[in-house]
């Protein structure tokens, strides 16, 4: 697999915000296949103690989400450093630095995750020139077609899978999102 879609659920929108969960899925544009996945919940208190932030607007937004999406706040969470160490191991064992990483927006998933790596003194496992932006792809290739939900909306793993399938589908169709 040459690509990895990453989705975060957070408690803010700036690079220093608390990350509640990480979801990732490997996929291959040539074969159209989706592969191995990664999903973990990060300890919120651990991140707050290290200076990461929560915004009121994002908390209000979370209160409006479905119970299934909010389930991550009741799952067993691990310290951020432990989660990122496991994520790095997973990423390295699945293509590592040759893999393109995708996030939903040039200023969201990937920059927040890179900031978390940096704040913990860890090395980001991908190269700067392997970062792809789903929002730009949606605009220019998908012609603003929406990503279809494939499970629980705002579950990091379900969202990562849905976004990977979207990229595969739109890549196969060329630039006509009305084709099925």
Q: Is 121 left (phi over 0), alpha (psi -120 to 50) or beta?
A: left
| Structural domains of the chain, with CATH | 3-172 (3.30.420.10)
Using DSSP bridges, classify how beta strands 100-103 and 131-133 pair: parallel, antiparallel or unpaired: parallel
CB atoms within 10 A of CB 69: 18
- What would the pLDDT profile of 107-155 be if each residue is shown by its tens digit? 999 999 999 999 999 999 999 999 999 999 999 999 999 999 999 999 9
Return the structure tokens found at 16. Answer: 């220093």
Q: Round to whole Å and give the CA distance between 79 and 62.
A: 21
Query: Binning pLDDT at 50, 70 and 90, where does residue 91 land?
Result: very high
Indicate the pTM of the whole model. Answer: 0.94
DSSP letter assigned to residue 152: S
- What would the pLDDT profile of 95-110 be if each residue is shown by its tens digit? 898 999 999 999 999 9
């Amino acid at each position: 697999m040459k690509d990895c879609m990453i989705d975060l659920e957070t408690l803010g929108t700036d690079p220093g915000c608390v990350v509640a969960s990480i979801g990732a899925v490997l996929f291959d544009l040539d074969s159209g296949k989706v592969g191995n996945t990664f999903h973990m919940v990060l300890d919120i208190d651990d991140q707050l103690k290290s200076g990461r932030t929560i915004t009121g607007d994002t908390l209000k937004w979370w209160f409006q989400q479905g119970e299934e999406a909010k389930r991550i706040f009741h799952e067993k969470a691990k310290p951020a450093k432990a989660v990122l160490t496991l994520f790095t191991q997973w990423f390295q064992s699945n293509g590592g630095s040759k893999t393109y990483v995708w996030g939903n927006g040039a200023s969201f998933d990937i920059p927040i995750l890179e900031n978390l790596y940096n704040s913990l003194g860890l090395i980001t496992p991908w190269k700067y020139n392997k970062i792809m932006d789903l929002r730009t792809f949606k605009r220019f290739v998908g012609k603003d077609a929406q990503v279809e939900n494939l499970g629980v909306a705002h579950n990091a793993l379900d969202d990562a899978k849905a976004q990977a399938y979207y990229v595969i589908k739109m890549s196969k169709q060329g630039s006509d999102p009305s084709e099925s």
